[in-house]
Amino acid sequence: MTKVKEWPFGITPDNYPEFMGRSSEHTTRKGKDMAGYFQGTPEPEKVIYEVYEAETTGHICMALTILKPGKVGKEYHMTKGHYHEDQEAGEIYVCLKGKGIIIMQTKDGLNGEIELEPGAVASIPPKWAHRTVNVGKKDFVMLAIYPATSGHDYGSIEKSGFLKRVIEEKGKPRIF
Amino acid sequence: MTKVKEWPFGITPDNYPEFMGRSSEHTTRKGKDMAGYFQGTPEPEKVIYEVYEAETTGHICMALTILKPGKVGKEYHMTKGHYHEDQEAGEIYVCLKGKGIIIMQTKDGLNGEIELEPGAVASIPPKWAHRTVNVGKKDFVMLAIYPATSGHDYGSIEKSGFLKRVIEEKGKPRIF
């Protein structure tokens, strides 16, 4: 991972594409990369989300996620979601654009969610898996801030999934 | 420093006082605590700003700063500002309310600033001192996110000050 330019910079709901230019890790998740995550089967070439990652300091990383609007069947577009490998690492999300829900859970079976609109911040404690769901009609754009030691454990989610899903019912998102 | 409740939570421009209830470190800076920082002399008992600090994970701290509107002479209310003791620790600011400017500099004489309005994020790299200035007419409220290792070096600023000041000129903030 390359460091962002060592100069202070601001990120606003309008200029965030500039951040992408400072990041070096770019991941695109298409439907075919997310087989088994949704109840239905996503179109293989449809882009579900993109992540731009950058190390901002020796200790903290930042990632910009752009989660495209849409559904697979009645299920809203979402990220894969992950636990952290480092059990002491939490994560902080800042919503820049759009309307989303963070779905969270622990391995002990606790679960919860936080709604995110522009200007809102979510604090996810260590040991809580987290997944982002776009329940709006436009791109959901957020900035994730996490310790450089975090690491990603996608395997646990790939095996057992999340306890809850966000499904459209009568035109509105509902958590089941 | 006591940890915030180990449960996910959201912080919005409206509910941020809830965060204060989760923090244990509360600092109030009055005029008398900031003698020598402004060009003029602040009223001793006037509150300039308040900070509510909390450790959110083993690695990251969060602090909520409420910087009151107002001026000392023509100079806008500001925080003391600091370098980090840990040379690898940067900081990330999220503006929840109001209108502010982050003034920054390095010991090599570089300087810069970032304007902050609600929903905007500022990334301050390691080795850059940072001070927040309220240039609006209401409270400036922001969330700071920083590595637990950061530490605060206020001494360097107390001795040598910042290279730039934010002064009202013809009713508008100007950086000198």
Give the pLDDT score at B29: 98
* pLDDT tens-digit readout, B45-84: 999 999 998 766 678 888 999 999 999 999 999 999 999 9
| pLDDT for the residue numbered A9 | 76
- Is B44 a member of any domain? yes
Location of structure tokens 């509150």: B47
- Whether residue B9 lies inside any domain: the answer is no
Tell me the mean pLDDT in the region A101-111. Answer: 92
Give domain status of residue A9, yes or no: no
Residues 6 or more apart whose CB falls under 8 angstroms from that of A125 comprise A90, B6, B7, B8, B56, B57
* Number of domains chain B is built from: 1
Lowest mean pLDDT among A4-13, B25-34, B105-114, B119-128: A4-13
In a domain, B8, yes or no: no
CATH number at residue B103: 2.60.120.10
Residue A2 covered by a domain? no
- pTM exceeds 0.95 for this model: no
Q: Between the ranges A149-163, B11-25, B61-75, where is the mean pLDDT highest?
A: B61-75
Q: Which residues of A touch B (CB under 8 A)?
A: 4, 6-13, 56-60, 62, 86, 88-90, 92, 94, 96, 102, 104, 112, 114-126, 128, 130, 143, 145-147, 149
Residue B41 lies in a domain: yes
Q: Is residue B66 part of a domain?
A: yes
- Tell me if B121 and A143 make a contact (CB, 8 A cut-off): yes
Which of A95, A101, A121 to mutate to test binding with chain B, by most B CBs within 10 Å of its CB?
A121
State ipTM. 0.88
What mean pLDDT is predicted for residues A157-165? 92
Range of the domain at B43: 17-175
| pLDDT of B3 | 43
From chain A, pick out residues whose CB is under 8 angstroms from the CB of B117: 12
For residue B140, pLDDT beyond 70: yes
The tens digit of pLDDT for each residue in A3-35 reads: 445 567 788 888 888 777 777 789 999 999 999
Q: What is the pLDDT of residues B80-97, one digit of tens each?
A: 999 999 988 999 999 999
The answer to whether residue A4 sits within a structural domain is no
In chain B, residues with a C-beta closer than 8 Å to the C-beta of A83 are none
Q: State the Cα angle at B143 between B133 and A104, rounded to 5°.
A: 165
DSSP lists the bridge partners of residue B20 as: none
Which residue bears the tokens 């909390």? B54
Q: Which pLDDT score is estimated for A7? A: 66
